[in-house]
Amino acid sequence: MLAEVKALACELPAASGTPLAKWSCPELAAEAVERGIVASVSASSVRRWLAGDALKPWQHRSWIFPRDPDFAGRAARALDLYVRVWDGEPLGDNDYVLSVDEKPGVQARSRIHPSAPPRPRRRPMRIESEYRRHGTLAYLAAYDVHRAQVIGHCAPTTGIKPFTELVEKVMTREPYASARRVFWIVDNGSSHRGWTAAARLTDAHPNAQMIHLPVHASWLNQVEIYFSVVQRKLITPDDFADTDELARQITAFEKRYNQAARPFDWRFSRNDLNHLLNRLAA
């Protein structure tokens, strides 16, 4: 009986024609009775049984399956660069790896009433839920994977022009201006998509080379980790008078981050990628 209820919890409701997106414990209890698995059972009993195997059918996680036919090859190039290898050869001291992307639509919102700081007796900071909107901006950043330094700038929106401005800002300063090679790891966003963007980068700066990740592989781009830090530490909760103040705060945060940053403890390797793809294929 217990095993049958757990097996039921591991089914999708739609498979049996039940008009539900996912199971809850009360619904599993009712379904188990309706199917004759048990004569009677409470939702709390079902919850306790599922907890024994850490089953939580009322939760879900989004997932995108790889659809790039060369997913493994293109992703492996970036993973090799993270461990300072290119075409099977170790990188030199004058080679640099940048993880680059944009964070679009960053909102400048101001709260209707001032926030209240934390108080004793476990009273957390209090944030007014109502706010005024003052527009959005885009934050473009290049993260040096091995030096843990960020070079970024804010723009009204994303696009080829703001991305080109970021390229110039990075490639006209040291150590990148005189580097032997600078690898730019990017996703397939419209600002830097395809061979034309790669050619535009190399034409402007012959020592720069664009490395495109596969489609739907932003999770392999280390700058996304930095953007998550910005989101947690600066933008949430947000309270900015306008986009100019938001841009100033982002710039100030970037400077503060660079003063104490260390490279991310990146452990996902080419072997881990192969194991993941084999598991998905199975």
Distance between CA atoms of 1 and 68, rounded to whole angstroms?
44
Q: What is the pLDDT of residue 63?
A: 79
Non-local (6+) Cβ contacts of 209 within 8 A are 181, 182, 183, 184, 198, 201, 202
Is 208 in a helix, a strand, or coil? strand
Half-sphere exposure of 279 (CA within 13 A, CB side): 6
Is 282 among the domain residues? no
Answer yes or no: do 132 and 82 share one domain: yes
272 contact partners, CB below 8 Å, separation of at least 6: none
- Are 234 and 158 spatial neighbours (Cβ–Cβ below 8 Å)? no
| 154, 95: one domain | yes
Contact 50, 57 (CB under 8 A): yes
Place of tokens 């001291």: 93
- The pLDDT value recorded for residue 116 is 84
For 165-201, how does the pLDDT look when each residue is reduced to its tens digit (9 = 90+)? 999 999 999 999 999 999 999 999 999 999 999 999 9
Residues 6 and 99 in one domain: no
CA-wise closest residue to 67 among 280, 223, 224: 280
- In a shared domain, residues 42 and 166: no
Q: Round to whole Å and give the CA distance between 259 and 142.
A: 16
**CA max distance for the chain:** 77
Is residue 58 domain-resident? no
Residue 13, judged by CB atoms within 10 A of its CB (0-12, 13-18, 19+), counts as: middle
Distance CA 193, CA 195 (A): 7
Token look-up 């089953």 returns 55
Averaged over successive runs of 10 residues, the pLDDT of the chain (282 residues) comes to 91 90 94 92 94 92 84 95 96 98 95 87 84 95 98 96 97 97 96 94 98 93 97 93 96 97 95 91 83
Residue 33: inside a domain = yes
Q: Is the Cα dihedral 17, 22, 23, 27 positive or negative?
A: negative
pLDDT attached to residue 50: 94
Q: Residue 63 falls within a domain, yes or no?
A: no
Q: What is the CATH number of the domain that holds 262?
A: 3.30.420.10
Residue 166 resides in a domain:
yes
Enter the pTM of the model.
Answer: 0.86
Domain residues for the domain of 251 are 71-276
How high is the pLDDT of residue 147?
A: 97
Residues 208, 89, single domain; the answer is: yes
- pLDDT at position 282 is 82
In a domain, 41, yes or no: yes
Same domain? For 208 and 258 the reply is yes
Query: What is the C-alpha separation between 256 and 107, in angstroms, rounded?
Result: 21
Residues 198 and 94 in one domain: yes
Indicate if 126 and 208 belong to the same structural domain: yes
| Whether 220 and 80 share a structural domain | yes
